[in-house]
Amino acid sequence: METIYLCIVIFLFALAIFDLVVGVSNDAVNFLNSAVGAKTASFRTILIIAGIGVFIGASLSNGMMDIARHGIYQPQHFYFAEIMCILLAVMLTDVVLLDVFNSMGMPTSTTVSLVFELLGGTLALALVKVNMSDVLTLSDLINTDKALSVIMGIFLSVAIAFFFGMIVQWLARMVFAFNYKKHMKYSIGLFGGIAVTAIIYFMLIKGLKDTAFMTSETKSLIYDNTLLIVGGCLVFFTILMQVLYWCKINVFKVIVLLGTFSLAMAFAGNDLVNFIGVPLTGFASFMDYTANGGDVGPDGFLMSSLLGPAKTPWYFLFGAGAIMVIALSTSKKAHNVIQTSVTLSRQDEGEETFGSTPMARTLVRISMGLAGSVSKVLPQGFKDWADTRFRKDEAIIADGGAFDLVRASVNLVLAGLLIAVGTSMKLPLSTTYVTFMVAMGTSLADRAWGRDSAVYRITGVLSVIAGWFITAGAAFTICFVVALIIHFGGTIAIIVMIALAVLSLVRSHLLYKKKNKTQEKSETLKQLMRSSGNEETLQLMRQHTREELNKVLEYAENNFNLTVTSFLHENLRGLRRAMGSCKFEKIQIKQMKRTGTVAMCKLDSKTVLEKGLYYYQGNDFASELVFSISRLCEPCLEHVDNNFKPLDAIQKGEFGDVATAITALIHNCRIKMEANDYDNMTDELRQANELNAQLSHLKRQELQRIQSQKGSVRVSMVYLTMVQEAQNVVTYTINLMKVSRKFQEVNEHTLQ
């Protein structure tokens, strides 16, 4: 029996390694967002600083391990076998759930997943025990007070982080403005002194109090002289920051890098329990059972030992820190998650990742109304002065950066402090929630959410927050079910659950690789959003337009052929796949139009007047092309899905030949557009005219067949729809090529 549980402990540690990798992909990027978003230093430098912070923070996390030992359940009422069942269910659920969110590029919370998984697994076993006992109640088995305080701490941190992020950033902008180099002559020393002193206070005085090397005498000395230490640090670091400024050193970069270090420490100290707390609890339980529980067996040995404080060996913490740093530097999913937060908080407009929702539009209208009411109360002089601090055209943002160093410093320092406070109070605040909501609050205060982008940014924030609640619900439900399956299914259920978890992880990895290839961001678009000169912008816009329209033609070629072929062969699966592609492509078209509108604003009025019409016509024809294929696919899918009569042999033969020629036409047009070769389009124009004439002939034939009452009217209606939409596909393809040629033409006076 001990062998089985030894294997479970080994597997828990194997899952812990994977959980560290997956968790870091989701969580550790939180302390990189600001430094990377502001282009403070090279990514290698930022990574080294963060790695050092992670190692030091890991050594401070021992006190937090108690959350996994007795924070949610009352271990003195659970037997060893039951505790191992809960812990295994938690780890199996955790790695799969986090990997799914990372593959989607959505930041979620490892803290929330751990807490709600423990709640779900504990409740499952608690219900079984209460049902079999006349003495025990749920309150005896679940630490409801602690669980409630943890959950309240997690979700209150969302509002607190957003509020303080907004207030502190507004104050910082009032002091430094966007052109901070003009307003930092004397204020930078005090700002830097306060920031560094706050970091030192919370990182050292609050964080180090639980470490093994802090004796009671040292703790007492620090506690008795706290004000003196804080005051001394404030004076020393204020003078130091001012001297650094006089030495031509960018103090904001120093603050951002120090903030990255402090937030990395806070992350490791707060979140390491989410990754290794459960396996370490399983290891401690197994060691206690093997030493003291041999006489009563796993179903009779109560785990009262877990009530004691955690004593984690240093080599576990050191190894976990090493895995974190390796995962952070190598994980592509980590970079995918960081992009979501940076995109939503960037200063300028650009490609919006998220769409628009009714709730976001309502919130924007309410916010505008409140802002208007407040504006009427404030004195005009104050409003005029405040506007001078928010002149975005004076913003000093590094090349390729999303925001400036002032906001980056506020993001890091404030998030680190809030997390450190929670850690010192033994409350596992979510680093994801805190860092993300601080970033959203500071971006709102910085007026980064303009009227043209606010609805998309708010949709993104709501999507992320919704993902957090989904995490909580999914973690609780899945772990509840898995714990019951393992409890009643025994060894066979354990093997099956492990196999399913491994299969899910492999499938998620393969789907992520496929998704990453199809959704890879265009380098041309990145350059276009950073361009400034009219000539450079127009050249990049031409290149970007060719790339985007070429993707539309590639979609049209593949999906038109897939739709027709699947319908003619009554392939329901193929039609469903084609319909799914249509829905996805419609979203891509909306995104393309939004991005193009932002890019067109970078051109001068003369160029927009000459080329703008062709650009917008190209977008319209591309949109109509996509919608034509969708209108073709929808009735075909419904027809086959309802098992209606297929086309007769004559209809299949006639339309099949025309469809092959249409696919070839789209292919030829795509090749010409890709090569930017519009000199000779005579063949394509002639072929398009012939195809339209042929399709008109097929339409007349089918109408005559309906009048003569030959064949099924239902089949004829589907056939006529196919012919009509095929004509639209041909027409819009040629029109797209014509306006694309006009847009790509180089007029010398356009660039002057």
Angle (CA) 344-347-350 rounded to 5° is 70
Q: Which residue has the higher pLDDT, 461 or 739?
A: 739
Dist CA 552 CA 547 (whole Å)? 9
Q: Which helix (H) or strand (E) holds 210?
A: none
Dist CA 574 CA 596 (whole Å)? 32
Question: CA gyration radius for the chain?
Answer: 31
Taking Cα atoms as reference points, which of 25, 14, 104 lies closest to residue 466?
Answer: 104
195 touches 406 (CB < 8 A)? no
**Three-class secondary structure assignment of 503-557:** HHHHHHHHHHHHHHHHCCCCHHHHHHHHCCCHHHHHHHHHHHHHHHHHHHHHHHH
Dist CA 269 CA 428 (whole Å)? 10
> How far, in Å, are 567, 571, 617 from residue 662 at the CA level?
16, 21, 22
Tell whether the torsion through CA atoms of 369, 371, 374 and 378 is positive or negative. Answer: negative
pLDDT at 346 over 70: no
* Cross-strand bridge partners of residue 79: 302
In the chain, the percentage of residues whose pLDDT exceeds 70 is: 83
Residue with tokens 């970069």: 253
* pLDDT per residue as tens digits for the range 137-151: 888 888 877 677 777
Dist CA 210 CA 632 (whole Å)? 67
Helices (H) and strands (E) in the chain, counts: 27, 0
Residue 214's pLDDT band (cuts 50, 70, 90): low
94 touches 109 (CB < 8 A)? no
Phi–psi pair at 302, nearest 5 degrees:
-75, 145
> Picking from 39-48, 253-262, 303-312, 390-399, which range would have the lowest pLDDT averaged per residue?
390-399
Task: Give the chain's mean pLDDT.
Answer: 80
142 three-state secondary structure: strand
pLDDT at 66 over 90: no
Angle (CA) 610-614-618 rounded to 5° is 160
244 touches 251 (CB < 8 A)? yes
pLDDT at 521 over 50: no
pLDDT at 69 over 70: yes
The structural domains of the chain, with segments of one domain joined by +, span: 2-517, 525-750
282 touches 4 (CB < 8 A)? no
Taking Cα atoms as reference points, which of 65, 158, 163, 153 lies closest to residue 107?
Answer: 158
> Picking from 3-12, 223-232, 359-368, which range would have the lowest pLDDT averaged per residue?
359-368
216 three-state secondary structure: helix
Residues 525-750, CATH architecture: Up-down Bundle (1.20)
pLDDT at 590 over 70: yes
Residue 345's pLDDT band (cuts 50, 70, 90): low
pTM (global) more than 0.95: no
Residue 518's pLDDT band (cuts 50, 70, 90): very low
pLDDT at 119 over 80: yes
The predicted pLDDT at position 65 comes to 65
pLDDT at 746 over 90: no
Residue 728's pLDDT band (cuts 50, 70, 90): very high
> How far, in Å, are 81, 138, 738 from residue 485 at the CA level?
14, 20, 63
The predicted pLDDT at position 749 comes to 42
The predicted pLDDT at position 202 comes to 66
Helix crossing, 534-568 with 605-641: angle to 10°? 10
Q: Which helix (H) or strand (E) holds 202?
A: none
